Amino acid sequence: MSKKVKKEKSMIIQKEMIASLFKELSTAKETGKKVVYTFVPGNISELIRAFDMLPVYPEINALQSGMRKKSRDFIRDAEKIGHSEDVCTYVKCDVGMMINGNIGPTGEKIPDPDLLLLSYTGCFTFMKWFETLERLYPGVPVALLHTPYQEAQKITPEMTEYMVKQLKEEVIPKMEKVSGKKYDEEKLKKILVNTNKVEEYMVKIFETTKNKPSPIDAYFAGVYYIGPINIGFRGTEEAVHYYEELYKEILERVEKGLGPITPEGEMKEEKFRLVVEGPPNWTHFREFWKIFYDMGAVIVASSYTKVGGVYDNGFRVNPEKPLESLAKYCMNCYTNLNLEQRVDLLSDCITNYDADGFLVNSIKSCNSFSAGQLMIMQQLERKLEIPVGFVESDLVDPRYFSYSNIKNRLESFFQMLEQRKLILGN
């Protein structure tokens, strides 16, 4: 019998925020609100909000379908109309959901888009995904925001200018036409003031894992913490309130010397500290988390919580330079970093958060994360001389989650960590 999950005040606030958003979406056609479909990496929801439009994120819909055990049938329906088994399962789940009525997590229909905003940040699948959406919603305008890849490990002035030019000439004009409103830069600046506050809180929250025991899990619980900024609340007062409350709760746990809260209860003993690369599996999310809980393993940093933006290196939006800030934010998303940057970032996480080991969850259908992961493992193992582990699953396709196989691999990995601790005498 599963245990009842303890509800913190911040969890209740987030649940209410998400419910209100989907309620607002369900009545958008009646209220005249325009709807923009876009993506989480490089999600410029501040600009969407500046036009009083509502954002919808197809990958959020897909992962929620996975957690609600609905993705299997959606994926099969997408495959029946010609989508390959090798296609990203987010795409197939999203397509399957759309052709079955596009019913959201609250049981209400998600409205059709008034604008398709293709924010391309390091994942080529996004391009093909939006070609599919364009076929599903013929006649809906498409705006492309192409983000230059950080091949040379830095953002140049020319790259920023290129993106600002797109915002001014491609994105904003189409938003003006769809919304019937003129671009208001002062309004966007005020929204970005809230974004700046949230970014500060995000850094403070994830830095609390430096404590021993860590008061939070930065992977399994971390996906809930990044929820509001990745589901459309970037730049809102609600997001500031949520992160204020969350940070206050976490600091109380630090003061009391408490470990993370999990679906199985509070973790009493922290045996292992890990850094994890790659997205989690959504169809067996709780079972996956429980394996770590049973082993006394806490994730103190993860790459996935940086998928919507990396703030570790000091980046914050500057409200006085709104379009330049949005451009740089997009270029700072994790999937837009090159492999050397990812190695450096993960290396810093392992060192700064005093991790015992590094683990990759390789996603079968997600090339933007999986490409290069073996190289990342080898580099970190050689550079830091720490144990590394590797498991395989998928985003929302339950056919590619083998509980016994993953559990066996993780048990071997934790045995290796235990032996290392004995050798090092800690």
Single pTM value for the model? 0.94
Query: Tens of pLDDT along 44-90?
Result: 999 999 999 999 999 999 999 999 999 999 999 999 999 888 889 99
What residues are paired with 301 via a beta bridge? 275
Query: Tens of pLDDT along 185-235?
Result: 999 999 999 999 999 999 999 999 999 999 999 999 999 999 999 999 999
Query: Tens of pLDDT along 217-230?
Result: 999 999 999 999 99
> Would you state the pLDDT for residue 4?
53
Nearest to 92 by CA among 412, 402, 396: 396
Kindly report the average pLDDT of the chain as a whole number.
93
- The CATH number for 16's domain is 3.40.50.11890
> Would you state the pLDDT for residue 420?
87
Q: Is residue 113 part of a domain?
A: yes
Q: Is residue 321 part of a domain?
A: no
Exposed, middle or buried by CB within 10 Å (0-12, 13-18, 19+), for 103? middle
Q: Is residue 342 part of a domain?
A: no
Q: Is residue 55 part of a domain?
A: yes
> Would you state the pLDDT for residue 123?
80
Q: Is residue 369 part of a domain?
A: no
> Would you state the pLDDT for residue 3?
52
Residue linked to tokens 């860590």: 214
Range of the domain at 29: 9-183
> Would you state the pLDDT for residue 426?
64
Q: Is residue 109 part of a domain?
A: yes
> Would you state the pLDDT for residue 2?
46
Nearest to 46 by CA among 225, 160, 167: 167
Q: Is residue 63 part of a domain?
A: yes
Which residues, given as ranges, of the chain have pLDDT below 50? 1-2
Q: Is residue 351 part of a domain?
A: no
Number of domains comprising the chain: 1
Ramachandran assignment for 69, one of left (phi > 0), alpha (psi -120 to 50 degrees), beta (any other): left
> Would you state the pLDDT for residue 318?
97
